[in-house]
Structure 1
Amino acid sequence: METYGIDYKESGKKGCVSLQKVYVLDSSVLLHDSRAIFQFQDNEVIIPFVVLEEVEGKKRREDNVGRAAREAIRNLDRLRNAGRLSQGVSLPGGGKIRIELNHYSREILPINSDLSLADNRILAVSLSLAREEERSVILVTKDIAMRVKADALGILTEDYYNDKVVMPQITDEVLRISLEDEQIDELYRNNSILWHETLPSNSCIKTVLSDQCVLPLVSSPDGKRIIYCMGQGRASWDIRPKNIEQAWALEMLHSTEIKLVNLMGPAGTGKTLLALASGLEQTVHGDKYLRMLCARPIIPFGKDIGFLPGEKEQKVRPYMQPIYDNLEFLLRSKKDKERERSGESIVESAIDLLIKKKQLEIEVLTYIRGRSIPNQFLIIDEAQNLTAHEVKTIVTRAGEGTKIVLCGDTDQIDHPYLDRESNGLAYIAARLKGQPFYGQVRLVHGERSDLATRAASLL
């Protein structure tokens, strides 16, 4: 993870005096991380006045951007008690923050630049400071176009790196071991064996047998045992794994010791289907959980269709349709087909019946904040569209006996201020890997249909 505030040392002087940097923050940074002003160590943070205007314009929104805007304004208001922000106020980490009121010049930008645009006014502030300051002046923005314009003007510019993580190669996350014939026989008999060394908790493992057959294995949470994932004909709600990654996923989904499972992979690899099948099996048949709760962030694909009519359930149905599609596939194959064959008329769908019995709840993430969720199987779909702060908020909602499953693809992000290195899914993977309560699987093989798999690779 990138760290801000690496000091440049001025050599030749006794004691070596450090030269601070000056970071100019774009509004996209504050709307992405409301605590961004505290992340620059002992350097000076500059917020152009136009940034305050942009953030204020977002504060009445009821989504996550609005929440970040309100929190950013509250943080600045608390700092105001320590002095005038326009003159500079010390930050807890040793740095300084200042709201810049000047540097509104038409001559400093290229001819015909429209200074009514907020981006151009921020660029003007950055360029003017860069010409006046002896220190390095860096514009920090999540806006790619803004970084390109800044570079064209000769302004040093960076993305906001504080919550970025670098995911390892998929092959680096899978352990490979060799087993003796006696160990393999014991695996088939007992589903697990003791291992001679401590392995990383809940790691995906595979071993290749003499006939080139690959066994899917995982390490136990304490790392002292190896578990055979296909033991006792592993299946959930009549869904059986079609590849080794799905076998790893089902094992972790059924483990009572793993409280948080992270399933990452492209569309069609079975993330949501496996999570729902496991949740139904353990909730409806196994009685391990009181309810299965499914949720996803409301971020439309493509142009938004505006306000929707009806009650809350009718309004959110279009956004939750992928979950309904998978549930209908699972439940129809299990119940409705049998009733149809017997000639029985279907008055209510199996989904409606489970909802009435309070064994199933389909909700939007907006309504999860502030809740305590005990003894439930909680599935968060499209988790790549969540920030690190939002994922932390969701995970901390878990009460006693709750299991959380995060599903998503870091290459399909619709959030305007997130990318594959700064989303909540990747953040969780980087921070919790190796914890005994956490397991993750990166699925790679598309199993939706032959058409979908071929199209994904060719188009």
Structure 2
Amino acid sequence: MYRLQKVYVLDSSVLLHDPNAIVRFQDNEVIIPYVVLEEIESKKRILENIGRSAREAIRFLDSLRAKGQLSQGVLLPNGCKVRIELNHYSNDILPLNSDLGLADNRILAVSLSLTREEARPVILVTKDIAMRVKADALGILTDDYHNDKVVLPALTEEILSLPLDDKEVAGLYQNKFIPLKTPLSPNRCVKAVLSDDSILPLVSTPDGERLVYHMGKGFAPWDVRPRNLEQSWALEMLNNPEIRLVNLMGPAGTGKTLLALASGLEQTLHSETYIRMLCARPIVPFGKDIGFLPGEKDQKVRPYMQPIYDNLEFLLRARREKEREKGGEAVVESAIDLLIKKRQLEIEVLTYIRGRSIPNQFIVIDEAQNLSAHEVKTIITRAGEGTKIVLCGDPDQIDHPYLDKESNGLAHLASRLAGQSFYGQVRLIRGERSELATRAAGLL
């Protein structure tokens, strides 16, 4: 059956988000306006992920030159034709007083001109929401870049309800586990319903053959006790050394970071399972950026890392009070500074993690929803032997300009690794920060 070929015009934002986007459009024609080349060329020296994407896109286009002249179009093995459009617009094609000195307007002009001339459908693909709105106003077909989007299953599909009889419950309390007749997927959250309708939070083992229960009254890593089912599942996965990668997703105030740090402190300082706890988060400011900050590296990044410091200070408060009792008010170093000096704690920015190999450490990545799939992959592949990684984030609270709920690194992680024996994930839903924070979040 004949299928009408389409023409896709790619915006700069698409190539900077995914440099391999050029080959994702099957046997259609992909057009890259010349101004897009200028824009990605201007980004190639940036040291962040955007610069890497710009360099990869340029290298790929350069490799196509051996197959033909790009302005005439080069055919790819999958049947897609890639062409660089040079001057396909006129000055009077856009509304009056439109500034063609702006790159976005020149891309819109190219798209509109092609729309009027081509018999085939012409679609402008861009990650820029405002540009999609402007294109629609001009009558240009437009779409987001969907190749990197994933849709997570409903929360109810991730949680399995399982009735237990009194004999199974007795064995569970005695042995801390019960065998399963039918294996489950690894590290599955299970809501066990007892004969009196009470609930126990259980997790399937990495081999899927047993359900384990450690959430008794004495189970409190770093004196932190779970307040709801989701936190119980999270602590079970955080404290299981066989689960090397944990994904904690949920709104602000659900305890993601606090639970991860408490488990990390317990396993680093008390049980000594890991030699160090490394905490990091992406530098993406909320609201208007305050510009360059004075001082050395630690002083510059401290404002971005303050949420981690706040949680650590809360968890280490008891230790600090004991030190004060011993030394009075003359205690010079905080508990955090002491742990950093003893190299049991490291607080770092993700900018410096590329190229490292990190063995035997408990790594906590906060605000991971602001990471792309490539950045998440880069972080995970830094893990050396014996290292555990915990990513915390809220997919509904993204500050990155080119990421959304369906294309961020956490969503990709949940989609690609679900069912792996080394991976576990929990979606926390109930706020526990304070009654004020919980009620305000729901009402506002």
Report deviation, 1:290: 1.3
2:195 aligned with 1:248: no
User: Match of 1:196, SS?
Assistant: coil
- Structure 1, residues 25-61: CA drift from partner, whole Å, max 9, x if none? 0011011112111211222111001111111222232
Extract unaligned runs of 5+ from structure 2. Answer: none
User: Match of 1:353, SS?
Assistant: helix
User: Match of 1:198, SS?
Assistant: coil
Query: Structure 2: which amino acid aligns with 1:341?
Result: E
Q: What is the number of equivalent residue pairs in this alignment?
A: 443
Query: Structure 2: which amino acid aligns with 1:57?
Result: S
Partner of 2:175: 190
2:143 aligned with 1:158: yes
2:50 aligned with 1:65: yes
Query: Are the equivalent residues in 2 in contact too, given 1:37–1:45 (CA < 8 A)?
Result: yes
User: Match of 1:263, SS?
Assistant: strand
2:148 aligned with 1:168: no
How do 1:5-154 and structure 2 match up within 5 A? 9-10=1-2, 18-154=3-139
Give distance in 1, aligned partners of 2:432 and 2:320.
24
User: Match of 1:177, SS?
Assistant: strand
Query: Structure 2: which amino acid aligns with 1:276?
Result: L
- Structure 1, residues 387-433: CA drift from partner, whole Å, max 9, x if none? 01111111111111111100000011000000000000011001111
Query: Structure 1: which amino acid aligns with 2:274?
Result: Y
Partner residue of 2:392 out of 394, 404, 407: 407
Report deviation, 1:351: 0.9
Report deviation, 1:105: 0.8
Report deviation, 1:78: 1.9
Query: Structure 1: which amino acid aligns with 2:5?
Result: Q
Partner of 1:5: none
2:222 aligned with 1:237: yes
Query: Are the equivalent residues in 2 in contact too, given 1:218–1:229 (CA < 8 A)?
Result: no
Partner of 1:441: 426
Query: Are the equivalent residues in 2 in contact too, given 1:257–1:437 (CA < 8 A)?
Result: yes
Partner of 1:13: none
2:206 aligned with 1:221: yes
Report deviation, 1:231: 4.1
Query: Structure 2: which amino acid aligns with 1:79?
Result: L
Partner of 1:261: 246
Query: Are the equivalent residues in 1 in contact too, given 2:164–2:195 (CA < 8 A)?
Result: no
Report deviation, 1:108: 2.2
2:375 aligned with 1:393: no
Partner of 2:404: 419
Query: Structure 2: which amino acid aligns with 1:275?
Result: A
Give distance in 2, aligned partners of 1:401 and 1:343.
37
Query: Are the equivalent residues in 2 in contact too, given 1:433–1:439 (CA < 8 A)?
Result: yes
Partner residue of 1:328 out of 313, 330, 333: 313
Report deviation, 1:244: 0.6
Query: Structure 2: which amino acid aligns with 1:223?
Result: G
Give distance in 2, aligned partners of 1:348 and 1:375.
26
Query: Are the equivalent residues in 1 in contact too, given 2:264–2:362 (CA < 8 A)?
Result: yes
Give distance in 1, aligned partners of 2:177 and 2:80.
54
Give distance in 1, aligned partners of 2:45 and 2:262.
39
Partner of 1:310: 295
Report deviation, 1:90: 2.2
Give distance in 2, aligned partners of 1:135 and 1:432.
39
Query: Are the equivalent residues in 2 in contact too, given 1:269–1:447 (CA < 8 A)?
Result: yes
User: Match of 2:71, SS?
Assistant: coil
Give distance in 2, aligned partners of 1:279 and 1:197.
33
Report deviation, 1:136: 1.8
Q: Which moved more, 1:303-312 or 1:82-91?
A: 82-91
Query: Are the equivalent residues in 2 in contact too, given 1:296–1:380 (CA < 8 A)?
Result: yes
User: Match of 1:47, SS?
Assistant: strand
Partner residue of 2:414 out of 388, 413, 429: 429
Q: Which moved more, 1:210-219 or 1:47-56?
A: 210-219
Report deviation, 1:227: 1.0
User: Match of 1:237, SS?
Assistant: helix
Partner of 2:323: 339
Query: Are the equivalent residues in 2 in contact too, given 1:177–1:206 (CA < 8 A)?
Result: yes
Query: Structure 2: which amino acid aligns with 1:339?
Result: E
User: Match of 1:187, SS?
Assistant: helix
Give distance in 2, aligned partners of 1:346 and 1:92.
68
- Structure 1, residues 123-144: CA drift from partner, whole Å, max 9, x if none? 1111211222222211100011
2:210 aligned with 1:210: no
- Structure 1, residues 139-160: CA drift from partner, whole Å, max 9, x if none? 1000111111111222111100
Query: Are the equivalent residues in 1 in contact too, given 2:251–2:394 (CA < 8 A)?
Result: yes
Query: Are the equivalent residues in 1 in contact too, given 2:127–2:402 (CA < 8 A)?
Result: yes
Query: Are the equivalent residues in 2 in contact too, given 1:268–1:446 (CA < 8 A)?
Result: yes
Partner of 1:288: 273
Report deviation, 1:193: 0.6
Query: Structure 2: which amino acid aligns with 1:84?
Result: Q
2:351 aligned with 1:366: yes
**TM-score, normalisation: structure 1:** 0.94
Partner of 2:284: 299
Partner of 1:15: none
- Structure 1, residues 209-231: CA drift from partner, whole Å, max 9, x if none? 23332100111111110111414
Q: Which moved more, 1:181-190 or 1:342-351?
A: 342-351
Percent identity, aligned pairs only, is: 74
Report deviation, 1:102: 2.1
Give distance in 2, aligned partners of 1:91 and 1:380.
39
- Structure 1, residues 94-129: CA drift from partner, whole Å, max 9, x if none? 312111002121232223322222111111111211
Give distance in 2, aligned partners of 1:337 and 1:92.
67
